[in-house]
Structure 1
């Protein structure tokens, strides 16, 4: 039976940042999306306040970073302080491995507005407000999503059905999609409540973030773009939630931070509870979960928004590959395999951070003494300063190839138990497979001092250090490269770029020569026992090998990603 004419390729349920990011990424890669949102407009109150470098890389891929950047402040420093103001730990990462400062503050409603506006670039995209999803049906070769179209007062005007190849639930923690899938939402929901207050015309004026681990009442104070100051205060168990509606009570919370709380211009005030939950699976047939629908985490490390964007980044290229006919259905199973573990790890770290924040007097005293001791040891201090406690996404299973054995679908973190081969010298023992590749500033014949992604593009890349990436490819390999639009790149020292341009001009396939003026790429390869890498569309390393092994690595990657052979259908 032939597939009927469908309304769209992907039905996205929920117009939050994850759904909007996903729809934009689908659009820039040439496919259609319809976004259904129950509300009549985007949420206008701030929620997330932290944007990281990985998310910025995704926004750049979506062509939206320049639009979003004015609503951010780079290099957000986080300091953990105790009840007397003593700094216990400082989180101040200064490296820019992925091309941007590691942490930014941002105003979420303004950023979300730009994400929504970005959909207007794509002729086949729609953002439908006032559409409350009430039904899902997986029909084997496509999905049908039923929604009630609502008027401004919430009355039902009609029931509509939208058909697509796939559906993705991005509608938050109370997700209809997750409930329809019938999957467990595993984890904890601590009873602790917090009140968040956003104030215009920042009355404090200090930038960055303070996490106040005060046993009397833990708090957070955050300097945000456009003169906004955010405070968050923990409510005690004996304080009813409706107490926050009493301005005198709120003034009493703020009085420790400003001379005259009654003069503050409050622009947002809400009460929330932290959650630490993750769905048992992110896929059921042609239906997927992303963002808060898939996992909920406390706000301590500012990773809720960013983790959702990582979901969108991972899922978007895989849906695109299958929609293109470039990969089989098995590729989509790797979405849960890759994203669920990292989301669960982030939840664990956030829950631990919350426990540290809420310590009572005796526990707080022990915490303070321990933190003081740790700050005296450079290695331990850097654990906090450089954000090493934040687990970087590393995909040990999925669309990866083990560096030592070249086994498809799995990747060990290191080969420290023995050298990769007896004849391989390397200063390091960590495998880069499953990790995100760096993004230094580079030079080409056409561009000067640009970020690497601007050169490699947003799809597959096969890159070798110092030589011709086609040198060890067979005719069948070159056909596979053409089939999957894999960009062939040679990384060379800037001093060698002119030579390489001439030398590789006669290669059997086009080679982009990339100069490495800073030495960042040379240093990267120098300690990783590989001369060639294959980068996925999300810039994670799918395979790393000695250059002579490139053909074998490509064959393994083909199996790991269920990638098609032959010409496109």
Structure 2
């Protein structure tokens, strides 16, 4: 994904892959709305969707099979459903094949990086490559930055000399994947059975996954034996011996986060930066969030548009949310894997009572317990104080528009919604497809050119930002005629944007390439807010080449 983002922005990228080919067996099984939004941004959503199951419902059941919790969120504020099942090898291949679009990106399989030398000017990686004659040769690659995406044992993270705090619970699990799903139910069952907790997941392409918690006395050789696996499956299918097995593998959950994601010219992303327990299906998605956050920042630095300090915000923005997801996943896992019958009975009874309260039931069903990313430090400007690099969670001030707003929760540091809009060149399109993949300044009901001074507009041109006006669809044709070709006019045909702006005293929004809000303010505060944002990213005022 990171190579796709950088390729999209015209940056030269070399991907060094130690393996000879892509992994072809299922791994991650959950794809969320934030990841699909990023996939949409790089233009590969049509290639990925055939390998997904939308609205992947999760049901937590007790040892008797009674449903004690349902997770079925209906929201789509980011343009996509909240949860999707997916086949990771197929989606990974779609991302890999998408790189063929870019002459500036090369992928080299069978290149194992063994040594890295960093200087003040760049990074040189030495990779071992086996030739057709079997002889191993060294190939050297020099670049400005190196990003290690090598998983939990990442050599790059070790070169950063950083901590990797967290825990690795001793509990082991057996994962079993089969073709020709013998159950056919398209969703997820988490079996909180004190005798042996299990997971049963229906996936696209007729794949079924089971996971079984192992007892301490069970060895890996024992539990991967076909007869032993069949015995574990006998309560799930009539005849396990007739299943078409893909793999049987033992794994241990880990919950760890690196102390920093960057030092000098080397960075880490994905499992190299954080190991995520499987319970919330956030391992793969957390890696996508890393790429989404880091991609535009690397592109900005490589183009000379921003200073190297911008890359420090990758850690300050991503680390805390990654830790929050790890903590939530560990907590959720502890609820599921209770083996004490009395504690399990207490959990089941408490769930039955809590389900009687609609607000509590909605809290779980709509996935409100999932911490959404909120950046409080990074490429931001506080809407009240215009402080560069910081943003409080609430909007301060005593102006009447602030005091009378439906919400004083700040939109700065969170993702902007993605409704469908109409514009001159398309109807009923997702917002991101209309505004493009770089910076935008969005104003409700007015032209940015009419509310910003020329000095600010010049800075926005140097940034490469699109000027966008959103207003009711009824006014769109009038605005298109009056605002000129250099302002993108979007018609709010669903009313969702009107409500968003109605709830907040921030009619001007500065939208980052990763769809997070860098600044939001009253229009008269626009120049100061823009200056604070530019200061937070060490902006270099030169013509942008990344639109």
Return the TM-score normalized by structure 2: 0.97
Distance 2:414 2:164 in 1: 27
Distance 1:179 1:135 in 2: 12
Distance 1:156 1:279 in 2: 36
The Cα shift of 1:152 comes to 8.2
Please tell me whether residue 564 in structure 1 is matched to residue 540 in structure 2. yes
Please tell me whether residue 392 in structure 1 is matched to residue 372 in structure 2. yes
Q: Which of 112, 116, 139 pairs up with 1:132?
A: 112
Equivalence for 1:82? 62
Comparing 183-192 with 423-432, greater Cα deviation is found at 423-432
Aligned partners of 1:345 and 1:391 also within 8 Å? yes
Q: Which of 515, 523, 538 pairs up with 1:539?
A: 515
Q: 1:503 to 1:58 in 2, by over 3 A?
A: same
Q: Deviations over 1:146-189 (max 9, x none)?
A: 11113589x65201110011100001011111112221111101
Q: 1:263 to 1:151 in 2, by over 3 A?
A: farther
Distance 2:222 2:207 in 1: 24
Please tell me whether residue 512 in structure 1 is matched to residue 488 in structure 2. yes
Please tell me whether residue 528 in structure 1 is matched to residue 504 in structure 2. yes
The Cα shift of 1:359 comes to 1.1
> Does the residue aligned with 2:451 lie in a helix, a strand or coil?
coil
The Cα shift of 1:422 comes to 3.8
Equivalence for 2:159? 180
Equivalence for 2:460? 481
Q: 1:310 to 1:423 in 2, by over 3 A?
A: closer
Equivalence for 2:434? 455
> Does the residue aligned with 1:433 lie in a helix, a strand or coil?
coil
Equivalence for 1:324? 303
Please tell me whether residue 34 in structure 1 is matched to residue 14 in structure 2. yes
Gaps of 5+ in 2: none
Distance 1:127 1:151 in 2: 17
> Does the residue aligned with 1:449 lie in a helix, a strand or coil?
strand
> Does the residue aligned with 2:185 lie in a helix, a strand or coil?
coil
Q: 1:420 to 1:256 in 2, by over 3 A?
A: farther
Distance 2:186 2:311 in 1: 42
The Cα shift of 1:496 comes to 1.0
Equivalence for 1:349? 328
Equivalence for 1:304? 283
> Does the residue aligned with 1:434 lie in a helix, a strand or coil?
coil
The Cα shift of 1:566 comes to 4.2
Comparing 342-351 with 58-67, greater Cα deviation is found at 58-67
Gaps of 5+ in 1: 1-20
Q: Which of 105, 113, 134 pairs up with 2:85?
A: 105
> Does the residue aligned with 1:543 lie in a helix, a strand or coil?
strand
Return the TM-score normalized by structure 1: 0.93
Aligned partners of 2:279 and 2:329 also within 8 Å? yes
The Cα shift of 1:380 comes to 1.1
Q: Deviations over 1:451-470 (max 9, x none)?
A: 00011101001001111112
Equivalence for 1:192? 171
Distance 1:423 1:476 in 2: 26
> Does the residue aligned with 2:305 lie in a helix, a strand or coil?
coil
Equivalence for 2:424? 445
Distance 1:423 1:104 in 2: 39
1:119-268 alignment, distance < 5 Å: 119-150=99-130, 157-268=136-247
The Cα shift of 1:568 comes to 5.5
Aligned partners of 1:404 and 1:420 also within 8 Å? no
Aligned partners of 1:130 and 1:151 also within 8 Å? no
Equivalence for 2:525? 549
Aligned partners of 2:224 and 2:249 also within 8 Å? no
Q: Deviations over 1:99-122 (max 9, x none)?
A: 111111111111111111111111
The Cα shift of 1:413 comes to 1.1
Distance 2:398 2:441 in 1: 21
Q: 1:290 to 1:420 in 2, by over 3 A?
A: farther
Distance 1:225 1:375 in 2: 30
The Cα shift of 1:124 comes to 2.2
Q: Deviations over 1:327-384 (max 9, x none)?
A: 1111110000001111000000000011001112121111111111111111111111
Distance 1:422 1:114 in 2: 51
Q: Deviations over 1:108-147 (max 9, x none)?
A: 1111111111111111221111111111111111110111
Q: Deviations over 1:485-504 (max 9, x none)?
A: 10010010011111211221
Q: Which of 273, 277, 280 pairs up with 2:252?
A: 273
> Does the residue aligned with 1:471 lie in a helix, a strand or coil?
helix
After superposition, the CA RMSD in angstroms is 1.4
Count of aligned residue pairs for this structure pair: 543
1:331-410 alignment, distance < 5 Å: 331-360=310-339, 361-410=341-390
The Cα shift of 1:62 comes to 1.4
